[in-house]
Amino acid sequence: MSDRVTERVQQAFARIAETDRPEIWITLRPEADVLAEAAALDERVAAGESLPCAGLVVAVKDNIDVAGLPTTAGHPAFAHRAETSASAVQRLIDAGAIVLGKTNLDQFATGLVGTRSPYGAVRNSRFPDRISGGSSSGSAVAVALGIVDAALGTDTAGSGRVPAALNGIVGIKTTLGIVPVDGVVPACRSYDAVTVFARTLAVATEVTAVIAGSSRLDPASREWPADVVLAAPAQPRIAVPRPEFLESLSSERRALFSAAVARLRDRGATTEEIDLGPFLECAKLLYEGALVAERYAAYGAFMAAHPEGADPTVALIVAAAEGRRGPDLVADQERVARYRLQAAALLEGFDALLVPTTPEHPTLAEVAADPVAVNSRLGTFTNFMNLLDLAGVAVPAGETHDGLFGVTVVVRAFADQVAIDVAALLVDETPLVLPTGGIELAVFGAHLSGQPLNHQLVSAGARLLTAVQTSDAYRMHALPGPTPKPGVVRVEQGAGRSLAGEAWLVPPAALGRFLAALPQPMTLGRIELADHREVLGFGCSWAQGPDITEFGGWLSYLDAPSQPITG
């Protein structure tokens, strides 16, 4: 990211000219307007304003509102100028990001191919004779070609993951409702999500962190729960499909998937094969069952009234949905609920599931010859995710003679951070932390890494942040009892010394459990750190046991050749 926003914008427009891919865009903002906005941001940054996304150039899929720009959803007759931006977009703008324009898509976000648009088929970023993947085609290609730093897409059946896989980039699809969908033209309202594309996991996570959070404008938006899992274990347990569920992949793609599994094992994970049948059976309901009635509710009447400009395949899909009966819809919703129970049982004891993102990378000609069947195959491993209320991160996994290949880390609802952590093992990046409502907790003894009670933090889904030091207003005592542990006691400033500990990010629900289980004289209260911050931490209400302050920390005390007797 450039230090100067203006320079980054100039680079983006230069890249647009170099790549010559007009089919990416439905609306591209005038360069003069974007440069004027960039200059204003440069002035704000120079004045000392904190804008975490200053210099970030983004593209927005054209079914997501951006104030002042038309929203078409891929249908010219649907075009209308948005008066306000979707919450996800506005949060990026407020953080200093610049929207370059609105990107092409499969019409009304119905498709995984990127060719169902009257604005033209979006060609693949690396293989121009092959598809880009949809429906978020333009957003993914704009990122892959280096025009923008990140892009927003949507995902109902896989549109935030398939284009990522077929263009060699990262796609994050959060738990449903974590990113609000107000200002988004619905495709299938109950299962729509706003997603993020970027070339690196770090940038994708940064953008996701900015746009996540409930909104009063979206009644379906959700808060992170009090027991949110904040980290993957050091040795995560990963489920993978049994071999028979990978038979649709070519031998090259099966080898790439096996390599991804081996990569996880090399980094400490354990893997085990599971039955993917219930997941794949559930996936069929998204298009083959009565759930497609939601698509008709979203845009069916409009398509019937405006056949001009309609993509023939999209029109066929939505027309077929018109006759779906209410009782059939309710029955299929109940079937989805039962599949959720089956999926939860199959994933019990696992931290994540790894699947291929797509089984193939078809050419434009192959899609034109059989648009429905090819599209259906592309959703084999993606269509079930939103139905089952799962989250995931799609990452690149290699190239074959006939296109690109990717894998997706799939996790339970609200375990988004686990997906990011596991994906980081695959792409060799240090994972960033989503703002999921965790509380910083300082620990100084038996809860430290490698100590007897550390498992309580790990099993609660807590995350190690960093080593810390207290101010010099604390003394440490070795407490008597069956589990060796220290008591940290507050004293007058300068009457103690700085003590070593660790800072952990802890789910709020875990703090209540820790507090309820604390034996006397242990306490849970404010601890002053050497950097003058105050955080929650384990302390002691009165001095008890030998004073071991001189060691500077519990681990140094344990390593000492001789220790006071603690009883």
Write the single-letter amino acid at 91.
R
- pLDDT above 70 as % of the chain: 99
Strands 25-28 and 474-479: unpaired
- What does the pLDDT read at residue 3? 62
Query: Residue 564: what pLDDT?
Result: 61
Q: How far apart are CA 408 and CA 358, in angstroms?
A: 9
**Residue-wise pLDDT tens digits, 106-155:** 999 999 999 999 999 999 999 999 999 999 999 999 999 999 999 999 99
Per residue in 464-478, pLDDT tens?
Answer: 999 999 999 999 999
Q: What is the pLDDT of residues 329-350, one digit of tens each?
A: 999 999 999 999 999 999 999 9
Tell me the Ramachandran region of residue 68: left when phi exceeds 0, alpha when psi lies from -120 to 50, beta otherwise. left
Token pair of 478, please? 């070795």
Output the pLDDT for position 520: 87
| Cis, peptide link before residue 484, omega less than 30° from 0 | no
**Six-digit token string for 360:** 């193939």
- Please indicate whether residue 159 is annotated as part of the active site: yes
Predicted pLDDT at 567? 43
Domain 5-427 belongs to what topology? Amidase signature (AS) enzymes (3.90.1300)
Which residues make Cβ contacts (< 8 Å) with residue 336, sequence separation at least 6?
282, 285, 291, 387, 388
pLDDT at 523: 93
The average pLDDT across 209-226 equals 97
Average pLDDT for the chain: 96
Q: Of these residues, 61, 102, 173, 485, which one is catalytic?
A: 61
Region 297-307: what's the mean pLDDT? 95
Whether 1 shows a pLDDT value over 60: the answer reads no
Task: Taking residues 6-30, report their average pLDDT.
Answer: 98
Mean pLDDT, rounded, for 376-400:
98
Which CATH architecture fits 439-559? Roll (3.10)
Give the range among 1-10, 293-302, 354-363, 388-397 with minimum mean pLDDT: 1-10
Residue 262: what pLDDT? 98
Task: Please write down the HEC assignment for all residues of 204-223.
Answer: HHHHHHHHCCCCCCCCCCCC
- Which pLDDT score, from 0 to 100, does residue 122 have? 98
Give mean pLDDT, residues 351-371. 98
pLDDT of residue 323: 85
Answer yes or no: is pLDDT of 165 > 90.
Answer: yes
Residue 463 in 3-state DSSP?
strand
Backbone angles phi, psi at 201, to 5 degrees: -65, -35
E strand or H helix at 459, and its extent? helix 454-459
Q: How far apart are CA 373 and CA 303, in angstroms?
A: 22
Angle (CA) 265 259 113, round 5°: 125
Of 85, 125, 136, 159, the catalytic one is: 159
Q: Tens digit of pLDDT for each residue in 55-85?
A: 999 999 999 999 999 999 999 999 999 999 9
Give the per-residue pLDDT at 562: 73
| 135 catalytic per annotation | yes
Task: Please give the average per-residue pLDDT across 196-201, as a whole number.
Answer: 98
Residue range 176-192: mean pLDDT, rounded: 97
Per-residue pLDDT, averaged over 174-185, amounts to: 98
Name the catalytic one among 85, 87, 135, 471. 135
Beta bridge partners of 271: 238
Burial (CB < 10 A; 0-12, 13-18, 19+), residue 483, is exposed
Mean pLDDT of 28-32: 98
Confidence class for position 543, pLDDT limits 50, 70, 90: confident
Whether 258 is a known active-site residue: answer no
Give residue limits of the domains in the chain.
5-427, 439-559
**pTM beyond 0.85:** yes
Confidence band of 563 (pLDDT split at 50, 70, 90): low
Segment 281-308 shows an average pLDDT of: 94
> Which pLDDT belongs to residue 470?
98
pLDDT at 394 over 80: yes
Indicate the pLDDT class of residue 544, thresholds 50, 70 and 90: confident
* Chain segment 220-248, per-residue pLDDT in tens: 999 999 999 999 999 999 999 999 999 99
Contacts of 192 (CB under 8 A, 6+ apart): 109, 154, 155, 156, 181, 184, 186, 386
